[in-house]
Structure 1
Amino acid sequence: MGDWLAPVLATFVTLPLLLFLLVYFGVRLFGGRKRAAFYAAVNVATAFFIAAVYFLLTVLFGKSYFIHLLLFLLGLHAAIALGYWRKKGDFRLAEVFRLFWRASFLIFASLYAGLLAYGMVARVAANL
């Protein structure tokens, strides 16, 4: 059973956009609305975008940025929690985490696209 799990996970870490699209169209196929399908795809793909950015940073720059990414995520969560508390005067962990997860998706999907483009340009320029 484990013979197929590692290649599938490796594919989704390498191509998290593929996972996003598969989840989106899968939820839409089974009767989900567009908004519900989009949020389901965001929720599933965020962890894979974070992993993809970590591995792209490791491959492109030759060292691990795990602690940096972890501190960034903790700081982002703290900033969102503080902003939510200041705006609402209340603290609801579920809502704060949902905002954090969606912000992480936006940030790491953008970072993934930027690092992918940078990596392609850097590899082509190095081979000229």
Structure 2
Amino acid sequence: MGIFLSWIAGVLILIPFIAYLLVFFAVKLITNNHRRAVSYAIDITTLFLILSVNEIAFVLWSHSFLWVIILLLLLIAIGFVFLYRYMRNEIIYSKVFKGFWRFNFLLFCAAYIILMIYGLTRSVLDSVAMN
């Protein structure tokens, strides 16, 4: 049972890169437009990154941080709405959401990389300490 759960966790952690590649190549094949393919791939991958960051945190600390992630997403969305309103004097929700979603891609991509490096480092140090 432990091997099965560890396999599922491994697949969930790798999904962002797999999802990016699958969406990119599918859209590139259909539209033959590189820029649109990257855009769609980033949009889809953001959701998988959010879920993967929660999964990595759960594996590392045995605690789900999904409520913290949702709260963070809400606070970022509020910040984007206020910032856009301050800069443009009107709110165009499609542009606000697009900026919010792309910012989350960068944020959760960085969090994903940092948590992966931390987890790998911790795993190596734990295995060295056992010997």
Aligned residue pairs, count = 120
Q: Which has the larger radius of gyration?
A: 2
Identity of aligned residues (%): 29
What pairs up with 1:58-73 in 2 under 5 angstroms? 58-73=58-73
1:14 maps to which residue?
A: 13
- Equivalent residue number for residue 4 of structure 2: none
Secondary structure in structure 2 of the residue aligned to 1:90: coil
Q: What is the TM-score with the length of structure 2 in the denominator? A: 0.85
> What does the per-residue CA deviation read over 1:98-128, in whole Å, with 9 as the maximum and x for residues that have no partner?
1111111111111111111111111010010
Measured in 1, the distance between the counterparts of 2:54 and 2:107 equals: 13
Moved over 4 A (4+): none
C-alpha displacement at 1:29, in angstroms?
A: 1.8
TM-fit CA distance, 1:44: 0.9
How far off is 1:97 after superposition? 0.8
Q: Structure 2 unaligned runs (5+)? A: 1-6
RMSD: 1.8
TM-score, with normalisation over the residues of structure 1? 0.87
Task: Please list every run of 5 or more consecutive structure 1 residues that lacks an aligned counterpart in the other structure.
Answer: 1-6
Query: Secondary structure, in 3 states, of the residue corresponding to 1:30?
Result: helix
CA offset at residue 61 of structure 1?
Answer: 1.4
**1:37 and 2:34 correspond:** no
**Alpha-carbon distance, 1:32 to partner:** 3.0
- The aligned residue for residue 124 of structure 1 is 124
